[in-house]
């Protein structure tokens, strides 16, 4: 470290003491620095202050005066040497205060200073205070170049020290505010999750009653118009139940640590049973569901409920976005590590620009369902998340106007 002190040679012990303070840079550094610097400036009072909102804020002080200086007496910043030094934006050196343009300032009486030197401090890129030294003695030879160089160096060091303290305090304050907001957000999320659970649970019971009644009314339908109205009604009810189940699955995934319930079952029989659940939906659009199995040993150990939700979402999507009188091919193929299950449709396909949105929550693509079906935008997101829980993966192949193929890969066995 080179203080660039030229001219007078100061006491080497005083320079060493100041150097030690600068190297340590701890919470007591400002007071220790002023104490060491006062010796080098032959000053009785050293002050580091900030000027903010017409307040004189002392950051550090060292005094060897025989009386106490009350900085609280400063009621107007313009009455201080520090204010004028900050306004000048450069060193204010007054070796003989009485014979300067500032001799009228009230601080002359408060400090009883006959010499003063101060330099603006820069905090957060703004000149907001000074580091200054004063004495009850006149400096007949003025301030040496060595002292001016030292003051400039001290100004840089103190400015950096205060800036670090300022940013540290600001960061701590922001962290406290952020933690408080995170806690408030967490409470809100928990309340929303509880509300979702209540809504999902309380909706299921009355809707189940309505659905049961609608099937009873179906038996009393006397003409095609009545049958069509009831069919539309049941179709809407089915969508509501599907949406409730999707929201329930999503809420459970995000709220609870859902564990796998692993069981052994026949993967081929499982897929056939799932396809039967879509017979009516496929027939309503004259869509043919084809199934093909290339399996030597159809035994899998995984979570059946998770896989059922995955297959339901993929097959229902394929039907939903397929035009009338098309085909959907479902294939299961045994691999070295497990099974690949593919669902291929003859729908509109997916454009390159929309691939990145496929598995996002509430994602809506440009393609629309072909028979006024509704879409929540949750299906593929749930598929992706549930596959993670059973160590599965999913790939998509698609071309615009040439359909899409979703292929899930599953291991033979997954741990519970």
pLDDT of residue 201: 61
**Percent above pLDDT 90 for the chain:** 32
CA distance 380 to 359: 5
Q: Is the pLDDT of residue 1 over 50?
A: no
CA distance 75 to 414: 76
CB-based contact 50:142 (threshold 8 Å): no
What residues contact 135, with CB distance under 8 A and at least 6 apart? 42, 43, 44, 45, 113, 114, 115
Give the chain's length.
416
Q: H or E element: which one contains 333? A: strand 327-334
What residues contact 303, with CB distance under 8 A and at least 6 apart? 260, 261, 262, 263, 389, 390, 414
Q: H or E element: which one contains 293? A: strand 288-294
CA distance readout (Å), 62 to 84, 144, 271 = 21, 22, 84
Cα end-to-end span (Å), the chain: 64
Lowest mean pLDDT among 86-95, 147-156, 255-264, 337-346: 255-264
Q: Where in 229-277 does DSSP place strands (E)?
A: 262-266
**Percent above pLDDT 70 for the chain:** 81
pTM of the entire predicted model: 0.51
CA distance 343 to 316: 10
Q: Is the pLDDT of residue 256 over 70?
A: no
Residue 219, classified by CB atoms within 10 Å of its CB into exposed (0-12), middle (13-18) or buried (19+), is exposed
CA distance 134 to 64: 11
Q: pLDDT tens for residues 44-94?
A: 999 998 888 888 888 889 999 988 887 777 778 888 898 899 888 899 999
Determine the 3-state secondary structure of 376 from DSSP: coil
Q: pLDDT tens for residues 361-415?
A: 777 777 777 766 666 678 888 899 889 989 999 999 998 888 999 999 999 998 8
Mean pLDDT of 197-226: 69
Region of 195 on the Ramachandran plot (φ > 0 left; ψ -120 to 50 alpha; else beta): alpha
Q: How confident is the model at residue 264 (pLDDT cuts 50, 70, 90)?
A: very high
pLDDT of residue 8: 47
pLDDT of residue 116: 94
Mean pLDDT of 89-112: 88
Mean pLDDT of 4-18: 54
pLDDT of residue 355: 84
CB-based contact 406:342 (threshold 8 Å): yes
Mean pLDDT of 110-121: 89
Question: For residues 322 and 201, which has the higher predicted lDDT (pLDDT)?
Answer: 322
> Which residue from 108, 102, 160 is spatially nearest to 131, judged by alpha carbons?
160
């Amino acid at each position: 470290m080179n203080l660039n002190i030229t001219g007078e040679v100061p006491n080497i012990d005083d320079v060493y003491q100041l150097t030690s303070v600068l190297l340590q840079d701890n919470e007591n550094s400002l007071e220790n620095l002023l104490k060491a610097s006062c010796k080098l400036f032959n000053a009785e009072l050293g002050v580091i202050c900030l000027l903010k909102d017409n307040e004189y804020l002392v950051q550090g002080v060292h005094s060897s005066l025989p009386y106490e200086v009350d900085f609280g007496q400063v009621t107007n910043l313009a009455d201080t040497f520090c204010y004028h030094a900050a306004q000048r934006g450069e060193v204010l050196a007054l070796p003989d205060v009485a014979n300067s343009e500032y001799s009228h300032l009230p601080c002359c009486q408060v400090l009883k200073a006959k010499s003063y030197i101060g330099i603006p401090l820069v905090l957060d890129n703004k000149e907001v205070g000074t580091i200054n030294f004063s004495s009850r003695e006149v400096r007949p030879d003025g301030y040496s170049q060595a002292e001016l160089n030292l003051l400039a160096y001290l100004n840089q060091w103190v400015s950096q020290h205060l800036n670090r303290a300022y940013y540290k305090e600001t960061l701590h304050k922001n962290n406290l505010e952020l933690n408080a907001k995170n806690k408030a957000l967490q409470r809100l999320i928990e309340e929303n999750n509880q509300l979702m659970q209540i809504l999902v649970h309380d909706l299921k019971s009355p809707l189940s009653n309505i659905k049961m009644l609608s099937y009873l009314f179906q038996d009393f339908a006397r003409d095609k118009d009545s049958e069509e109205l009831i069919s539309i009604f049941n179709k809407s009810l089915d969508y509501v139940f599907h949406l409730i189940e999707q929201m329930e699955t999503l809420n459970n995934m995000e709220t609870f640590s859902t564990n796998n319930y692993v069981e052994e079952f026949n993967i081929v029989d499982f897929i056939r049973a799932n396809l039967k659940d879509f017979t009516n939906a496929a027939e309503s659009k004259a869509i043919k569901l084809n199934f093909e199995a290339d399996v030597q040993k159809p035994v899998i150990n995984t979570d059946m409920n998770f896989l059922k939700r995955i297959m339901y979402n993929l097959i229902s999507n394929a039907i939903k976005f397929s035009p009338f009188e098309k085909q959907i091919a479902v294939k299961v193929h045994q691999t070295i590590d497990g099974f690949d299950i593919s669902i291929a449709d003859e729908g509109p396909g997916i454009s390159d620009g929309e691939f990145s949105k496929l598995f996002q929550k509430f994602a809506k693509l440009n393609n629309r369902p072909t028979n006024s079906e509704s879409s929540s935008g949750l299906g593929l997101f749930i598929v992706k998340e549930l596959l993670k829980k059973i160590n599965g993966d999913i790939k998509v192949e698609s071309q615009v106007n040439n359909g899409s193929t979703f292929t899930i890969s599953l291991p033979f066995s997954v741990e519970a």
